[in-house]
Structures are given as structure tokens and as C-alpha cells.
């Protein structure tokens, strides 16, 4: 290597040995952590006061609630981990028929009114788009 090129090498690396670590460090504080906030969910109906049963089923917690008089029942679902499906419809299977009561989307708390006379509902989470049941819980 010619002496001028060698001198150029030396100059370049004296410059880079300072500039590169500085440039690298300068980008560190600009690293953006995700801005955290509690996501806003659509408002849900008020929880009925009497908790009849609770079942923790991995990604969701199901509560069967009823009114003070015991005439109305409510299904409360705490969705901890959403289903990776295009659709998650909450269905109640009773006496051989299936009835959709609501949809699960983002993680959070959901409450759905249950048909009158629902006692021990078989709750099914159905992917309506693919037409398959993704979870079944006997409450």
C-alpha cells in the first residue's frame, strides 16, 4: 500500500473509531418503547350481582351470573388471550340448538345476556368464518 493510502487509512480509522461508537450510542436514546395505555373497549352491561359459577379455561375465565331475583342470567367472559381466528362467536348450546349471544374480539371483559331458563349452559366459541368450534366449556 502506498504511503498516502496508508495515511488515508490511518485518518479514516481515527475518524471512524470515534464517529462509529458515537453514532451508535446516539441512536440508543431515540429507541421508542411502545406507548402504553389501557385500551378502550366498548362499554358492557352492568354485572349481575349473583355469581353462580366460575370456570377458568386457559385463555378465558367464564362467570355465570344472575340477577337478585334469579329471573335473568348473564355470561361474563374475561378474555385473557384472544383466539387467533377470523371470528370468535360466543354460542350457547341448549337442548340441541345453538344460539349466538355475542362476539369476542380484543382481550378484555365481555358480558352477554343469556336466554331465559339457561341453567348449565354449554358455552361454545365458534369461528363462524371457518365454521368450526374452537373451544367448548361446560359452565
Nearest to 118 by CA among 136, 91, 89: 91
Exposure string of 37-73, with b = 16+ CB inside 10 Å and e = fewer, is eeeeeeeeeeebeeeeeeeebebbebbbbbeeeeeeb
Residue count, binding to another protein (CB under 8 A):
61
**Among 94, 105, 111, 134, interactor with another protein by CB under 8 A:** 105
32 binds another protein per the rule CB under 8 A: yes
The rounded radius of gyration (Å) of the Cα atoms in the chain is 29
The binding track of 71-100 with respect to another protein, each residue x by CB under 8 A or -, is ---------xxxxxxxxxx-x------xxx
**CA 30, CA 60: separation in Å to the nearest integer?**
37
Among residue numbers 2 through 31, which ones bind another protein (CB under 8 A)?
Answer: 2-3, 5-6, 8-10, 12-14, 16-17, 19-21, 23-24, 26-31
Write out the three cell numbers for 20. Answer: 462509529
Euclidean distance between CA atoms 5 and 126, whole angstroms: 71
Nearest distance from C-beta of residue 126 to another protein, angstroms:
8
Q: By CB under 8 A, is residue 68 in contact with another protein?
A: no
User: Taking the complex as a whole, how short is the minimal distance between the CB of residue 118 and another protein, in angstroms?
Assistant: 13
How many C-beta atoms lie closer than 10 Å to residue 27's C-beta? 9
Closest to another protein by CB, 34 vs 69, is 34
The site for another protein (CB under 8 A) is made up of 1-3, 5-6, 8-10, 12-14, 16-17, 19-21, 23-24, 26-43, 80-89, 91, 98-100, 102-108, 126, 128-130
Amino acid at each position: 500500500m502506498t504511503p498516502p493510502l496508508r495515511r488515508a487509512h490511518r485518518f479514516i480509522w481515527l475518524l471512524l473509531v470515534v464517529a462509529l461508537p458515537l453514532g451508535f450510542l446516539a441512536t440508543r436514546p431515540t429507541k421508542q418503547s411502545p406507548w402504553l395505555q389501557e385500551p378502550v373497549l366498548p362499554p358492557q352491561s352492568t354485572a349481575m350481582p349473583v355469581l353462580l359459577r366460575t370456570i377458568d379455561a386457559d385463555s378465558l375465565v367464564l362467570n355465570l351470573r344472575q340477577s337478585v331475583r334469579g329471573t335473568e342470567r348473564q355470561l361474563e367472559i374475561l378474555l385473557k388471550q384472544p383466539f387467533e381466528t377470523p371470528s370468535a362467536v360466543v354460542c350457547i348450546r341448549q337442548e340441541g340448538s345453538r344460539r349466538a349471544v355475542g362476539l369476542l374480539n380484543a382481550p378484555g371483559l365481555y358480558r352477554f345476556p343469556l336466554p331465559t331458563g339457561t341453567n348449565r349452559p354449554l358455552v361454545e366459541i365458534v369461528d363462524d368464518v371457518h365454521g368450526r368450534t374452537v373451544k367448548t366449556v361446560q359452565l
